[in-house]
Structure 1
Amino acid sequence: MEDIPSNIMLDILSRIRLKPLVRLQRVSKLWRKYINDFYLAVMHGERFIEEPTPIMLHLNPPPPKRPRSLCFHVIDQSRTTNNTLVFRPKKVPDFEIMCKKLLSKSSITNIEFLGSCHGLIYVSEDDGEVVTTLAVIHPIKKQCYKLPTLPIPFYASQIQESCGIGFDSSTNTIKMVCVVLLRGDRPAVKKLCTMVHVLGTNKSWQEIPQVPSYPIVGEGIFANGCLHWLASYHDSPTKDERHVVSFDVKKEEFGLINPVKTVSYPTKREFNSCLCDHLGNLNGQVGYFCNRTTEVWVLDHKKEWVLHCNFEGHDFPYGYLKVLGCLNKEGDIFINCTPSDIGKDLFYVYNLRSRVLHEADFVGGEDESETNIVMFPNSLFSIHDIITNNNSIKKTCLRKKNVVVTGTKL
């Protein structure tokens, strides 16, 4: 086997499904080296889509109390006798990260979910005004990587700034990118700053000369080597459409993608602007959800928008809809609805093949406010550490039965 060229070996291994591939790591050190190669993870992800695992994260205790920790629960799925899909988070957290100890009773600390990439979740901790800590978390491998402190203020409101993580295939590294709006004496003049940090290196944040055409907001979606954000609503040329800003992680260059041209009429939900539109990851593709028309679009390889599906004709309560991602490899879409008139969130699953919307029950998370649900992709990336240098990763100490004793601190 040692005589087989590495490109041929990687091509062979990329054609094997995930579970047997993971078992093959035990065959030899050479096989383990191949299977742990990030390049194989990229090749494998282009050939296979595995069933994702939903994960719930929430603060403990929930707001308005001061959070002590950030908890991660794997969500089990089952069906009732009448075929209703039931989501039930595990009672005991699979992973728990302790929050920073407060300096005084009057101190403020907030933790916000920012996004995810290849199963890595990134969060921020702030003091009510500026972000004090950025961290990347691997909830399955129970790892947390704390990034160096940003040398410039990154405001917690993130109305006109955002960040994201992506994979650089040329160096087999993960980069975090922050685009920050610099506040100055002239508010009408917007000056942006782009900072990049390579996880696992001794380098701090590096400022690059490239900046996007518009300030950015929302979760950064990584696909096809690029991060994608929505252009700030407040800086869009019109209030009816929004550009998408892309960032090539390898070349470290920004691009601008034309807005979606909706084909449906606004529904009776009567969202009269694109303020509530958002991006999402749909089995490795960039998805754009329009809250006014309930259309879902995906970005093709030509960087053009293609209509994926439409929830038109389905009755949702008036409120904010969020596409959480694909529930399975068939592409069924998991939807969260936050109604305006009631406090309880509602959940739906849209069957892509039958084009039927099904209500779903979410049991066990009612006591947890400010929750987020992430679709964890079961891919080769999910078996990797956050970085190759394990000395930079802090692991949680766990008792038996997965009860947290002390957690990694943000």
Structure 2
Amino acid sequence: MMTSKLDQQVTKNNLTVSRPNKRSSSCGREVERFDPIPVDLVINILSRLSQKFIVRCRCVSKLWSSIIRRPNYNQLFPIKSMDLAPPQLLFVYKVAEELLFNSSPQPHNPNMNSSLVATLRRRTSSTNFSKFSGHVRGLVCRQHAEGNYTFAVITNPITGESLTLPKLRMVGCNSERNNGKVRYYFGYDPIDKQFKVLRITWLRCGERESCGEYQVLALGTGNLSWRKIQCCTLHYPLEGNGIWINGVLYYPAGFNNGKYTVVCFDVRSEKFSFINIDNYMALKMVYPVSSTLIDYKGKLGACSFDINNNVFELWVLEDAEEHKWLKHIYQMPHQWLNETRHDLRLAGMVSSGEIVLFPDYTRDIFFIYYYNLESNIITRVRLEVPVLGKFNYCRVYTFINFVEAVTLI
């Protein structure tokens, strides 16, 4: 039977989808050809699909996949904004040779009877996994080490897509693991709607750190490569976490003179600026086991808790240009003394204003803690993770305010 190719066209600035029109072939049989369907009708149809079905549509054919992956797809086919989607808790468990991505609803006004069930979203290899570099708008960035190389992988736990960024070897270093360090930070430019990864490399010379190079990679440009950028003030990142807030990446860093700072990296302009911190605050960031940077109601915050004295400290950046921080000290409630808390870490602050703490290691059932600063009440929430039933013990990473999205990599 003779068949004809489909008349399909995707122009550079427009989109044409087709509908069947029967025509006669040379052998007398009817074959289907396609005439254009109005773009407005296609937009109307696709705009009604959920994120889950948009993901499925990409698997129909190479043509469909190429259409949905177009840079201007979100303008042609608007889907429900991820900003309107309810935030989730994302739990990543390192078990055996795998990373298990699970999510659960993020509770509002939890009480002691609250209970959550985590749903398995994705499994991926944990070979040479080193650390996580943050999550932004549905995508997660993690860091791996392989031989003399350190590289980053971007993952969407909902769609299952993963993208390994180009591997680079640190100049002047035989082994990044032994002589040098690499750190990745993940951010998003809300103006140009572009994800970017910041890569910082530096060398260790005895007890001193020697500042190195700064590079940026932009996703979705069609040219997946690292670009060198300049920084007027050489610095190296500390072990503490980085955080993205409204188009700016923040992370703690040190200078060669022994001073410390919080770096502000504008994702759009790719410019660095610095915020002064006092010696006491710097000490907390140098040893970040019980401290972290947080999004405090749209402002940069830094918090830590003292396990032995049951004290919680919070710094809020009121004026970046004036380097003005406001410090708050909270005496945590007495029942906190009765909890097993030696392995707890800070996840950050949720929109309701509560601080979330989680255990480093866990089994299939464990607890996360919500600390309400205003009422000074700590609430313990039970979390069930069915997929962990066959594992005795595992490392857990917890991310708050995670928004499930079908963002394409």
Q: Does 1:275 align with 2:287?
A: yes
**Paired residues for 1:314-353 under 5 Å:** 314=334, 315-316=336-337, 319=342, 321-327=344-350, 329-337=351-359, 347-353=368-374
Q: How does 1:197-216 map to 2 (within 5 A)?
A: 197-200=217-220, 201-210=222-231, 212-216=233-237
The structural deviation recorded for 1:137 is: 1.1
In the alignment, is the contact (CA less than 8 A) between 2:138 and 2:402 conserved in 1? Answer: yes
For structure 2, list consecutive stretches of 5 or more residues without a partner in the other structure: 1-43, 50-67
Counterparts in 2 of 1:131 and 1:112: CA distance versus 1, 3 Å: farther
Q: Is the 8 A contact 1:196 1:205 kept in 2?
A: yes
Match of 1:4 in 2: none
In the TM superposition, 1:378-393 aligns within 5 A as: 378=403, 382-387=404-409
Partner AA of 1:246 in structure 2: C
Separation (CA, whole Å) in 1 of partners of 2:167 and 2:208: 28
CA shift at 1:244, angstroms?
Answer: 0.9
Q: Contact between 2:251 and 2:262, CA under 8 Å: does it hold in 1? A: yes
Partner of 1:221: 243
Which ranges in structure 1 are unaligned for 5 or more consecutive residues? 1-21, 62-66, 101-108, 264-270, 388-410
TM superposition score normalised by structure 2:
0.64
Match of 2:355, as an amino acid?
A: I
Q: Tell me which residue corresponds to 2:161.
A: 143
Give the Cα separation in 2 of the matches to 1:213 and 1:256: 11
- Report matched runs for 1:170-181 at 5 Å: 170-181=191-202
Offset of residue 194 of structure 1: 0.4
- Aligned equivalents of 2:195 and 2:202: distance in 1? 23
| 1:37-84 deviation line (CA, Å, top 9, x unaligned) | 9xx97xx95xx7x642011112232xxxxx1x32211135789x9843
Q: CA offsets, 1:131-190, max 9 Å, x none?
A: 443111111232212111124269458996522111124532211001110356x87571
**Larger relative strand fraction:** 2
Q: 2:99 maps to what in 1?
A: 70
- Indicate how the Cα distance of structure 1 residues 225 and 31 shifts in structure 2: closer, same or farther if over 3 A, else same: closer
Q: Find the aligned partners of 1:359 and 1:136 in 2 and give their Cα distance.
A: 32
Distance 1:161 1:377, change over 3 A: same
**Aligned to 2:395, what secondary structure does the other structure show?**
coil
Shift of 1:213: 4.1
Confirm or deny: 8 A CA contact 2:346 2:358 kept in the other structure.
yes
Equivalence for 2:141: 122
- Name the CA shift for 1:189/1:52 in 2 (closer, same or farther; >3 Å): closer
What's the CA shift for 1:233?
Answer: 9.8
Indicate conservation of the 8 Å contact 1:197/1:203, yes or no.
yes
Counterpart for residue 95 of structure 1: 122
Q: 1:163 to 1:212 in 2, by over 3 A?
A: farther
Q: Distance in 2 between matches of 1:159 and 1:279?
A: 25
Task: List aligned pairs for 1:347-362, cutoff 5 A.
Answer: 347-362=368-383
Give the partner amino acid of 1:347. Answer: I
Selected match of 1:58 from 87, 93, 97: 93
Shift of 1:204: 1.4
In the other structure, the counterpart of 1:287 is 301
Distance 1:305 1:124 in 2: 31
Supply the distance in 2 between the matched residues of 1:290 and 1:228 (Cα, whole angstroms).
17
TM-score, length of structure 1 as denominator length: 0.64
- 1:15-57 deviation per Cα after TM superposition (whole angstroms, max 9, x unaligned): xxxxxxx999329x999527759xx97xx95xx7x64201111
Structure exhibiting the larger radius of gyration computed from Cα positions: 2
Mark the CA change 1:132 to 1:173 in structure 2 (over 3 Å): closer, same or farther. Answer: same
1:255-308 Cα offsets, whole Å, 9 max, x none, are 111226879xxxxxxx98851232134565433112345212333464643446
* 2:407 aligned with 1:370: no
Higher relative contact order (CA 8 A, sep 6+): 1
Q: Structure 1: how far apart are the matches of 2:209 and 2:194? A: 35
Q: Distance in 2 between matches of 1:187 and 1:332?
A: 39
What's the RMSD between the two structures over aligned residues?
A: 4.2
Residue identity over aligned pairs, in percent, reads 20
> In the aligned structure 1, how far is the partner of 2:241 from the partner of 2:185?
7
